[in-house]
Chains A and B, each alone.
Chain A
Amino acid sequence: GAGVSQSPSNKVTEKGKDVELRCDPISGHTALYWYRQSLGQGLEFLIYFQGNSAPDKSGLPSDRFSAERTGGSVSTLTIQRTQQEDSAVYLCASSLYGGGQLSTDTQYFGPGTRLTVL
């Protein structure tokens, strides 16, 4: 079946502009994650959605970052007033169950969106 898809694959923007990144998880997966991969910081967790529960936003680096998940499926990560340090590859992942007792749950990653802030 289809994997996790993300769009756009590449995004170049000017400092100060807002950007929106989209993620389509695997159908039927209840959990959705956003991570960031950058040269200086490696792979960092950003935010996690599980069903209808309040999202875990503890990894968001600043209040310029926000995310939503509509209808328990598609998610959008929004970065307002982008800065050059926001340049990174933004990865989305989904899993069948999420966290808690089902900690063996495997996360499947999308191809990522490469964001470049000029």
Chain B
Amino acid sequence: GNSVTQMEGPVTLSEEAFLTINCTYTATGYPSLFWYVQYPGEGLQLLLKATKADDKGSNKGFEATYRKETTSFHLEKGSVQVSDSAVYFCALKGTSGSRLTFGEGTQLTVNP
């Protein structure tokens, strides 16, 4: 079956530091890949997505590239802000199914 593995957290960075959150997946065919973010006290929000190999999703300074050869979708941001503090979830949606399969989530804390 499908699965998603995220780097273990929590991650603590200083403001303006570079961020990488690793995500790898197992799936048949060509799934769609997503990053969702959950800010404190709020619901899940879509951050970015990529639907085919080599696609790059981007939003709010975050980027992730769909790498079929390494089955990865790592999230990056060049300069994090305090307001980026949240839990980040990597997820996939298979080609034949409808459900999202989520990673464990990574708690990010950015200190001023």
A-B contact count (CB 8 A): 62
Partner of A43, one of B42, B45, B89, B97: B89
Q: Which residue of B has the minimal Cβ distance to A41? A: B104
Known A-B contacts A43-B89, A104-B51; the reply to A109 vs B43 at CB < 8 A is: yes
Contact A42 B105 (CB under 8 A): yes
A43 to B96, CA, bound (A): 20
Highest count of chain A CB atoms <10 Å: which of B34, B95, B97? B97
B98 touches A98 (CB 8 A): yes
Q: A101-118: which residues lie under 8 A (CB-CB) from chain B?
A: 103-112
Contact A99 B97 (CB under 8 A): yes
Cross-interface CB contact of A33 among B49, B51, B99, cutoff 8 Å: B99
Min C-beta distance of A112 to chain B, whole Å: 6
Q: Which of B48-64 contact A (CB under 8 A)?
A: 49, 51
Number of interface residues of A (CB under 8 A): 25
Q: Which A57-111 residues sit within 8 Å CB-CB of chain B? A: 59, 91, 93, 98-100, 103-111
Are the CB atoms of A59 and B46 closer together than 8 Å? no
B101 at the interface (CB under 8 A from A): yes
Contact with A along B74-112 (1 / 0, CB 8 A): 000000000000000101011111111111110000000
Residues on B facing A (Cβ under 8 Å): 31-32, 34, 36, 42-46, 49, 51, 89, 91, 93-105
